Chain A
Amino acid sequence: NAGVTQTPKFQVLKTGQSMTLQCAQDMNHEYMSWYRQDPGMGLRLIHYSVGAGITDQGEVPNGYNVSRSTTEDFPLRLLSAAPSQTSVYFCASSRARGPQETQYFGPGTRLLVL
């Protein structure tokens, strides 16, 4: 199993540009989530999904969209990038329908918005 994969590893955007961060898992996990990590702020939940076709907002959802058309994929879309979205983004998945089991994190995407 590849586990949780994320692409790209690193991205530079200009303010106002849009892009999609890709996340995929091959473990048939129900629960998937997106976090952003900023210095001194820990891991903050952006959006999450308890299964295909179901998504919901986390702590910091503004400026981001998600969809879950398949169990495997959970892309994160930045609609109009802003410098405040400069961060490291982690995708995670867990077996259960909720987060009450081990979450497996992807390797992260480092995003710089100029």
Chain B
Amino acid sequence: GENVEQHPSTLSVQEGDSAVIKCTYSDSASNYFPWYKQELGKRPQLIIDIRSNVGEKKDQRIAVTLNKTAKHFSLHITETQPEDSAVYFCAANLNRDDKIIFGKGTRLHILP
């Protein structure tokens, strides 16, 4: 079936450095790619999303890039801070259905 692969499953970076999380998707008709952040014991919350008509989107320290040809998209966090420690999920819609499929998540640790 259609799926979303996410890598790495765990990522540790020094405070102030950058973090990159990568996802690939299988449905060539997907056109919406959100990223959610989930802090420990909390609900997931949208941090940024991108649609297939653009290749990059930025919001302060967060950016997402999309390569439709290769069917992959990435989350970039610059100047990481302790509060960036969380689990991050990528997702993609299945365009023929009204479904969003999530990746398995990346646990990001920001080291002091």
Contact = CB atoms under 8 A, between A and B. Distances in A.
Interface of A: 31, 33, 35, 40-45, 48, 50, 56, 58-59, 90, 97-100, 102-103, 105-108
Contact of B93 (A50, A99, A105): A99
Contacts, number: 57
Contact of B102 (A43, A98, A100): A43
B99 A90 contact: no
Given A40-B104, A99-B93, A100-B32, A108 B43 contact: yes
B87 to A, nearest CB: 9
A43 B44 contact: yes
Contacts of A50: 98
Contacts of B93: 98-100
A99 B99 contact: yes
Contact of B100 (A40, A103, A108): A103
Interface string B95-112: 001111111110000000
A105 B105 contact: no
A107 B43 contact: yes
B45 interface: yes
Q: Helix, strand, loop or mixed for chain B's interface?
A: strand
B102 A44 contact: yes
Interface residues of B, number: 24
A97 to B, nearest CB: 8
17 contacts: A35-B102, A40-B105, A41-B104, A42-B103, A42-B104, A43-B102, A45-B100, A48-B98, A56-B97, A59-B1, A99-B32, A99-B93, A100-B31, A100-B51, A100-B93, A103-B100, A105-B44
Contacts of A90: 43-44
Interface in B64-102: 89, 91, 93, 97-102
A48 B99 contact: yes
B98 A98 contact: yes
Rank and list the top 3 A-B pairs by shortest CB-CB distance, nearest first.
A42-B104, A105-B43, A43-B102
Interface string B11-46: 000000000000000000001101000000001111
